[in-house]
Amino acid sequence: MQFYSTNHISPKVSFKEATIQGQAPDKGLYFPEQIPVLPKALIDNIEQFSKEEIAYKTIAPYVADAIPEAELRRIVYETVNFDIPLVQVTDNIFSLELYHGPTLAFKDIGARFMSRCLGYFVKGSDKKVTVLVATSGDTGGAVANGFYNVDGVDVVILYPSGKVSSVQEKQLTTLGKNIHALEVNGTFDDCQQMVKQAFTDEELNKKLFLTSANSINVARWLPQQFYYLFAYQQWPDKNNPPVIVVPSGNFGNICAGILAHVSGMPVKHFIAACNANDVVPVYMDTQLYHPKKAVATISNAMDVGNPSNFVRILEIFNNQFVDLKKVLSSCSISDAETKETIKTFYNDYHYLPDPHGAVGFLALQRYLQTHTNDKGIVLETAHPVKFYDVVEPVTGTAVPIPETVQAQLALQKKSTVIDADGALLKDFLLAL
């Protein structure tokens, strides 16, 4: 399998090269030359397969011969070895709980897979790799946990000061050792721009081996297909495929789901549920794509004004809007509506969503009002304890704190505060 750049200038590369480079030299995102077709036997008899086998069969065509089969199976096993349950919330709404991993967020899957792939690729290398990542919330903690103590890899995480939850901040700033947290005076888009600037800096790239752990990296993006297939495995009515709603910020997650669908997994429709950052909802209504400065919301991991991965979604559909519109719709949910949804689901259905999940639940409820024969799945992307400062005032009840979080809350934050200036990031990286 070869990967080409969405800007179509840089040469094609293998999975290994795409993983190590992160972003193509022409600033495009790597995309598979062919989209594999999932084995029909896997889809038709999916209940009979283990999670590990489903994941392996999904990812193997992309990895090809870049990693030996036994090693890839080990990586896959370590990636998915925690519960990913599909929970029924109402008669027609289900929740895919993606927060049972080590950092209580969906990004554990991609971060664990990528860290193990990169660890394999750099083994025996005489040059240290620097993983550079911007986070609007959960990516930082997942990447920090996934790469912690990985030999030959330094991790530098940029996050917007005051715009991630207290639990999220603890998860990405308390590990130390090879994990370095930069607290940026700016927005997530500023952080993302600084990272992109670093990747195009010739001097930096001559002196350092830079790669990215954001969802622009194929090794973080592609394994997110796994849990869509796990959801379908648990779906009770295979004759009536689900509508799938994905709380969306940088659009890597929903892009992976659409990729799994195009590869053969039955889905009736996808909904990208956004907060006030409505670039894609506006595009889906008008065909006009205008990135803009991110707006801060209570669903902060989705505070993205220029979603990087949307270009990959367009690539899947060959930039044909008519074809995209058949598969995807999108909507914007306000903070007030998000809070009301948290309250409603907690009081009426005895289910506590986090703010991102709440955006998804309301989007699905609205869709089902006009599609009464359908049923749907919302991807519950993070444990509500990560946003207890939002959730508890709404419900009036304390969110139980898992033991792993209790231990981290007691640790001391270690971060370096910098302004949103690419030159300052460059200086920091050269001084590592």
Structure tokens given for 187: 């927005």
What CA–CA distance (Å, rounded) separates 244 from 231? 10
Which helix (H) or strand (E) segment is 250 a member of? none
107 is catalytic: yes
Under 8 Å between Cβ of 191 and 19: no
What CA–CA distance (Å, rounded) separates 332 from 95? 20
Under 8 Å between Cβ of 220 and 214: yes
Give the SS3 label for residue 302. helix
What CA–CA distance (Å, rounded) separates 313 from 304? 16
12, 40, 51, 107: which one is catalytic? 107
Across the beta sheet with 269-274, the strand order is: 86-88, 93-97, 376-380, 243-247, 269-274, 328-332
Give the SS3 label for residue 16. helix
What CA–CA distance (Å, rounded) separates 298 from 275? 9
Amino acid type, 88: Q
Structure tokens given for 271: 């909904």
Q: Catalytic amino acids?
A: 107
